[in-house]
Structure formats: C-alpha cells, structure tokens
Amino acid sequence: MRVEPTTLPGVLTVEPRVFADARGAFFESYVLERYAEAGIDVAFVQDNVSVSARDTLRGLHLQHPRGQAKLVQVLEGEVFDVAVDVRPDSPHFRKYTTATLSGENHRQLFIPGGFAHGFCVLSERAVLSYKCSAYYDPQSELGVRWDDPTIGIDWPVTSPLLSERDRSAPLLSDIDPARLPRHG
C-alpha cells in the first residue's frame, strides 16, 4: 500500500496493493494495523454506501461537534472527490484538495474530521463506500454550498444533480464560526 499526502495536511490518498490477473483483481481495502502504521490511526465505527447517477453532486457535508474522519473509496464507476478545510483558525481555511477515485484505480481518500466532503459522479453510475469514525448524528450535521465562491472548487460538472438540502446549503461565510470545527 502506498500513502501520499495531499495539498492539505492530514488528507491522504491511499493506493492499496492490487493483485490482478485474467480472472479479475483482489486487494485489501482496509487493514487496521497497516493503516495505523501509515498514519490513519482512526477507529472506524460505521460504513456507508452511496449509489449515484452521472452528474450527481453530493456535498459539501461534515459533522460538528461529533466530527467524522472518512476513508472514501469507489467500488464501481468514477468520482471527482473533494475535501475542504472548514476550520476558521486553520492556515488552510477554505482550501481544498481533489482526487479522482474509481473502481479501476482502487484509490482511497482519507479525510480527517474538520473537513467538509463532497463528490460528483463522472461515470454513468458510481458506487461509493466510506468508513466513518463517528456515527451519523443529525444534530451535528452541517452543509456548505457546493459552489461557494470563496472556496472556488473547479467541479467537472456545470449543471449537477443536487438534493434540495445541497442546493440550499449556506455559504461558508454565512455559518457562525462558533458552529465550525477548530484546528488542532
């Protein structure tokens, strides 16, 4: 397995070792000890699966105060995945990093707590799986508008399919900073 830092400290790309032959492929998508040695020393408590059609955009989502670290991977299809630092006291506040995750490249993205997460589907359909370090908590749920101009994500879709919740999410500047996570 190869773990690489991204432009945001703490956000990592993971490339598992894949064994492929004429029959298909095999890889270990998560091994606690190996991931901990690589710096992803998180106790995951919940796994989620999202199935989405082309041009679906989900995000930007996070939880606070019950923050969630996430280990995201695509089982089928391809997505443009995004992590945004939304901690007002962070030197990387409003900065983002992206990764193309697919069922073909088996790449994963580790997103620590304190970051908003979103993705858009590049293929006809995508099946995304992600591990979470905290249980879903509706009272801790926060959303940031996907096209917030102060973040400036260069999404590869101009007219995404959005939920009403994502369409009406606030700009980051409209969220009380006391409601956002802190750095460190």
Q: What pLDDT, on the 0 to 100 scale, is given for residue 96?
A: 98
8-23 average pLDDT score: 96
Domain assignment present for residue 184? The answer is: no
The domain in which residue 89 lies consists of: 43-174
Q: What pLDDT, on the 0 to 100 scale, is given for residue 13?
A: 98
Q: Which of 27, 41, 38, 112 is nearest to 74 (CA)?
A: 27
Catalytic residues: 61, 130
pLDDT at residue 184 tops 80: no
Q: In what order do the strands lie in the sheet with 115-121?
A: 96-102, 78-85, 115-121, 57-63, 141-143
18-42 average pLDDT score: 94
Domain assignment present for residue 37? The answer is: no
Whole-number mean pLDDT of the chain?
96
Domain assignment present for residue 26? The answer is: no
pTM score over 0.75 = yes
Counting the structural domains of the chain, the total is 1
